[in-house]
Amino acid sequence: MSEDSRLPSLWCQSQKIINFISGYNIFNVFDLPAVNYNNMINMKYIIGSLTTMLLILCIACKQQPATAQVNAENLQTFGDTFESDGAISYAELHQRLKEVESVENVKVKAQVTGVCQAKGCWMNLTSADQSTDEEMFVKFEDYGFFMPKDIAGREVIVEGRAYKEVTSVDELRHYAEDEGLPKDQILAINEPKEELKFMASGVILLK
């Protein structure tokens, strides 16, 4: 069952908690003055909203395993399943992005240099033939899938949209923490940086 499909059941669970709280007359227990019942109803829905939000946040923050499928080429895929044909090299994409701001619906073959060590929710890529040392930061569409955390050095094919974007200092430091870099290196990040980025709808992990 997907995390999204669990949300209705979470709402039901939250309602049970709310009904318990609202049905328990704390004012009688502690001999407190009676309160307006309408205020109690309003409080019920405030508690309901807060409870539901907390339950959803617990799901969003929970570490999820990287789940692979197998495509027609018998290769592991993450996210949307696709075939490797038509993939261009990282060097070719790098050259295109010198001339335009973004490239849509592209497949790119590259080498993984790093993966988020918290959840596998992003990765860095570069050229496998070392034709350029500039990295590309890859995120996954709708935060819909994760990659294994131990694939640095392996080659992948990503499908999606490549673009250029300036990353803030706070975000750069956050990703550095995810990567497990030493604190002194994290604190040394003090300027925003224009980066090559990629929003991947799917990833093929090559053997």
Domains of the chain: 4-61 (no CATH), 69-205 (2.40.50.140)
22-75 per-position pLDDT tens digit: 444 444 444 545 555 455 555 555 555 555 554 544 444 345 567 889 998 899
The amino acid occupying position 13 is Q
Is a pLDDT exceeding 90 seen at residue 133? no
Tokens at residue 206, please?
Answer: 């090559």
pLDDT of residue 17: 45
Stronger pLDDT, 9 or 169, i.e. the higher one: 169
Residue 139 has pLDDT above 90, yes or no: yes
Nearest to 8 by CA among 47, 42, 59, 45: 59
Residue 81 has pLDDT above 90, yes or no: yes
Is the model's pLDDT at 174 over the cut of 80?
A: yes
Q: Provide the CB-side half-sphere exposure for 121 (13 A, CA).
A: 13
pLDDT of residue 62: 46
Let me know: does 90 contact 108? Beta carbons within 8 Å: yes
pLDDT of residue 39: 55
Report which of residues 123 and 133 the model is more confident about.
Answer: 123
Does the pLDDT at position 110 exceed 90?
Answer: yes
pLDDT band of residue 130 (cuts 50, 70, 90) is confident
Residue 192 near residue 172 (C-beta atoms within 8 A)? yes
As a three-state string, the secondary structure of 149-192 is: CCCCCCEEEEEEEEEEEEECHHHHHHHHHHHCCCHHHHHCCCCC
